[in-house]
Structure 1
Amino acid sequence: MKLPSFNNIGLRNKLLIIYICAVFIPITLTHIVFYNVTTNNVKTQKMSDLSLSVEKISDDFLMAINDAVGISSMMYTDYELYTLLETKYRSTTEFIHAYHDYYDNISKEVPLYSPVRSLTLYTDNETVLYAGGVKKIDSSVRSADWYESTELMRHSYPVLTRQRGETGKLDTFSLIREMDHYHTINSTKKIMEIKLDHGLMRNLFHDVTFQGDLYLLNGEGTIEYTTNEHIDWSAGRFPYSPADNDSDHIVFEETFHLQYLNNWKVVGVAQEHVLMEEVESSRNFILYLALINLVFPSLFIIYMTSSLHTRILRILKHMRGVEDQHFELIEGAQYRDEIGELTQAFNRMAFKIKKLIKEVYVADIQKKDLELKRKQAQLSALQSQINPHFLFNVLETIRMRSMLKNENETAKIIQNIASMLRKSFIWGKDWVKVEEELYLINCFLEIQYYRFDDKMQYQIEAEPEALHCLIPNMSLIPFVENASIHGIESIKGKGLIKIVIKKVHDRLLCEITDTGRGMDTAEYEQLLRSLEEAEDMGEHVGIKNVYYRLKLHYGDDFEFNITSESGVGTKVSILFPYKEKE
């Protein structure tokens, strides 16, 4: 594969490529990599910190629950407590003595566990006194939320549940356990309730460094507690939906696999843009550093390359002036580097050209001027050739009309002839408008119509915007003349001459069509060959005259086409450049 060449690239673009490849791209990529590495490192560290925060919350929560479970386990196996609750007392005084003897020890141990707020014992023993932490299992207790929700599980292990507190909201956490370790003949139903401290959850979940929302979920995925201010967790039981988190959130989870906290979870939800706050705060610093690294090298490169670029542009400006025949010398100090030597060489060249221009260039101009004059003389000769030929045919028409019909209509013909003579003799104008040419054509066709009567019909269709286009003088009428005399006159029946002139994009299309005798193949090919013989006019003087004049005026910037078929007719198409000014 051929490698691209830099020799065709301008100096300014080369310097720009050097700057982009050697300065801009490396520095930009370096800062992008630095920014991404810093971002990833900070994000990883933040993720680790948040994960540790959630893990610490989980550990603290589990430790608090384990304290309550430890109390429940101690009392679950306390035989004296079973005896206290199952004994059938003969009097209230007897129960009070037994209660004080037992609770003196319990009241000393329970306060040692800070997560525990109170201990409540429920029993259906009718002989005990329902006071001082002992309550009766009645219909109101059996209909309570905590009683029904823990009935199936509290026989096997302690159950952590949430129940309504003093405010009527579900904001109180309790550990419920069925006391069925010992069975006697007089066994009664006994339930132990350990209420956790009211501010325990707030202390565990709010006094942390986790930047986001925390959720405590039970095994069924219901929110038991949350720091999300938009969720009033104490007003009911709301399911947790991960779909509520948008793509900007990151979720951390810690799951408990203990029997009494089966599949409970601590879920932390943090917004990713919060994790990136430290990176965002340092973004301006990185931006300023990048600008400094870009601006100073850029200014240095501009300073170093200005002596190259500015001086080369000055040389290029003077060299372009040479194209317009301006040979001014480059003024200024003469430097000794390569550009300075190039400047001196240009000055020597310009001085020599000024010296030789009078000897060579002026002579060449004189030669071209003579050639131009020769072309103009040839053009004048071609224009002069058409007059006798054309006037001969017109006068012959008048003569034949006068001989065949001795009518006053001849006056009309003579009027048209006079108009044509006035137009044809104005050769000082090389260019005429289409409407002027059409006026001459119309005069000629009226004369021919008088000559042939109904044998010849004609149509002229010209677009209004085409009438103001300039074309060479008498460049269409010779074809109309040929169509009438050599086309329609030679047939026995009637014939039609149709002239169409219209603008096609930025060109002028002129079509002259007749339904005359046409040309056979040999005659048609001979006509085409004759158009290439520029020196000898020979036959078809009118056609060749127009063709050569068009070549002199337009060069190759026009299209000329003739199609003809014997017995069908001839069509001439000319496509001029459209212009309204010479």
Structure 2
Amino acid sequence: MRFMRRLNDIRLKSKLSLIFITVAVLPLLVSGIYLTSKLREVMILNAFEQATNNVERVQKRTEEVINVSIDISYQLSNDNRMKSIVSRSYESYNEIIQTYRQYTDIRDYMRLYKEIKSIRLYTDNPTMLNNWEFMQPDDRTKESDWFKSALSQKGLAGWGYIEDERDQKHYLSLVRKINLDNLKDESVLVINVNSDLLNSILSQETFSTMIVDDNNHIVAANRPDLYGKNLASVHGGSNMMSQTQGSYEAVMDGKKSKVVIANVTPQNSWNGFRIISVFTVSDILQDANAIIRLATLVIGGCLIIAIVLVYISASFIARRLLRLSKHMSRVGTVSWDTYLDLDGKDEIGQLSRQFNDLVHRISELMFEVEESNQQKQLLLQKQNDIKFKMLASQVNPHFLFNTLESIRMEAHLRGEEGLAQAVWQLSMLLRNSLEVGSRQIPLSDELNMVRCYLELQKFRYEDRLQYSMEIDPETEQIEIPPLIIQPLVENSIVHGLDRKEGPTLITIRTKFNDQDMLLIEIHDDGAGISPMKMSQLEKQLTGSDESGDRIGLRNVNDRLELTYGTASRLTINSIEKKGTCITFCIPKEGRTLCFQ
């Protein structure tokens, strides 16, 4: 309770900032520290796995390279021709030179296999000449450890970091004793492995990787500064110097490092060499540390921005509450015209709207009598307006219909059945025209209006006007815009019948075409339209000028086009003195392209 009391005493801005720091900043810091430590562990583990895979890959590639030297050594150790060359005694230089020229196997091996650098055979035959392939061992060579070891191992292969007399460079070399017929203990075969090839294999590795012989000489490495050195000179530590297989911790170049070692012992060899991959922990974590530093800066910047935004938001909320408090104080001084304008749909906005409603209701109660009087006056004024409109609308369409009905009954009583029928047709036509609105009507209703119109015109033209309606019963319930066919029929009478001598037949057809659309056709055999008039008519239908004597056609065409699109516009075909045919299509479902 004491904590809650102290918390309630803190200002709102400080309270929101404190809550944000407690629920956002502290968990973010804890999770960041934990994830950072896990990231370091994962990166070291991934680097260790990568180093192990690299060592295995280098081991396989290296074995492929040295197996070439082993295979060549086996073939030369069983080469009787070579043995006879180095065992015989020569009487002249020409004989030696001729023999060397004829024996090309060693040169062929060096040409065919890029894995070897050179091949030489040391043999104690004073009659032979040194040609870098067959050589006399000097005292220094005879006293070397590798030469003595090769003679003592009875045909097993050995591997060492041996200097080549030709270029005074050291190579990883295979040494092996060759048993001859006469000089059994004094012939040693040396095959130098191509160091450039070994270095190229190692150069593809990410971590520091090297090949070390059993005397800790670095015979190949992907770092040029390590090649040719002794492992002890790089401060590898006791584990790196003595261990043959596994992973260890060591210090290399003064840095804490992880070491992965794989031992390679070729077949039928008395010794081998090791492949060592080293990665320093600081180098592995360098990228991670950079990412962590960048993430720390980004997160820190975001937290600072978030704290500022929280503080600004808290200030905005406090300012809105303060405005609400001031308006409440004004209402307390009986100021009913106050209005609080606080945007938003949150609780403060809702509270402000409720406050405004409350003030408004109180204000309504205070001025109830005055508003009641104003409403009574307004009601009286509206009643007077209604009375005036009722008096002005007493003459309505019903008066016209009743008058026409009285004329029809009088004509019927006098025996004028044609006149009575014409009056009835006119009454029906007017009634239907007045009842037509903007909604669509069934095709059958439109045809009834057209039939009334034609019957009324027959009363005028008598036998000069004939009409035929060929209606597909399935089309009668399709809804179409009102007064869409009657203007076309009227056009056929005015421009077809009136301009022709003799009777005229008007035919109205409805059916479904091949596209399953309602096809409506109005055909007459009247006067037709001349080509010049036809050209003017097409311009009137497609242009914006509504002048001319075809306004009804233009109105129908525009309504069809606005309702159903350009595909439903009027199509007019006419031959002068033979007649005119007007057609248009309406979708079967009666779908429209715009609102009615």
TM-score, normalization by structure 1? 0.45
